[in-house]
Structure formats: C-alpha cells, structure tokens
Amino acid sequence: MSATQGLMMLAALLGGGMLAWGLAFWWFGRRLRLSSARIEHLERSRHQIGQQVSQARRQVEQLQKELAELRLANPVQPPRAAPAQAQDVFLPLPPEGKPAKDGFAPTQILPHKS
C-alpha cells in the first residue's frame, strides 16, 4: 500500500465520519426540537388547566356563599307527611283457581328440550 492510498483512505474515513456526524446532528437536533415543542405545549396546557381549576374553585366558593345566604334568608320548613294510601296487593292464583296457602303460585320445572 502506497502513501497516497493511505492518505486517500484516511481522507475517506474522515469524510465519512464528518458526514455521519452531520446526519446524526441533524437527526437528533430535529428530534430534540420536536420534543422541546411538545414539552412547551404541555406546559402551556398545564398552566391553562391550572387557571381554569382556580377559576372553578372561586366560582364554587362564591356559589356556596350565596347558598348559605339564601338558606339563612329562607329557612326550609320540614315537609308534611303524606297521607297513607291503600295499596293494592296482587297475588297470583294457582291454575285451579284456589289461592295457595302462602300466597304464591306453585312453581313447576319444565323439562329442557335438547
């Protein structure tokens, strides 16, 4: 192997290494930018949700205050007891037309058709 071949191999090796480094830099840089954009978007969303939660808490607190004021202004009277109503009781009759002793119709087990 001559000196020129060795220098050419060295130059090719250095050129290939630089090309590989450039491609890796571009590839991982792009992935890092995408990841950074996602993280920023998530942080903005988290901040917005935090604001919405604090606003909802303030609204709930305000509604509870208004409810307490209304309860003090208008005390609730206990409801009156409703008059007792007669309820119809349905008891099935056995096939013979005679009521069963316990009030339930006799149960028959039907054979299973295979």
Q: What are phi and psi of 41, to 5 degrees?
A: -65, -45
DSSP 1-45: --HHHHHHHHHHHHHHHHHHHHHHHHHHHHHHHHHHHHHHHHHHH
Q: Among 4-8, 9-13, 17-21, 85-89, which stretch is predicted with the lowest mean pLDDT?
A: 85-89
d(CA 113, CA 95): 24
| CA–CA separation, 93 and 57 (whole Å) | 60
The pTM (predicted TM-score) of the whole model is 0.47
| 42-52 confidence digits (pLDDT tens) | 999 999 999 99
Compute the distance between CA of residue 38 and CA of residue 50 in angstroms, rounded to an integer. 18
Question: Model confidence over 69-107: pLDDT tens digits?
Answer: 998 888 777 777 766 665 555 555 555 656 566 666 666
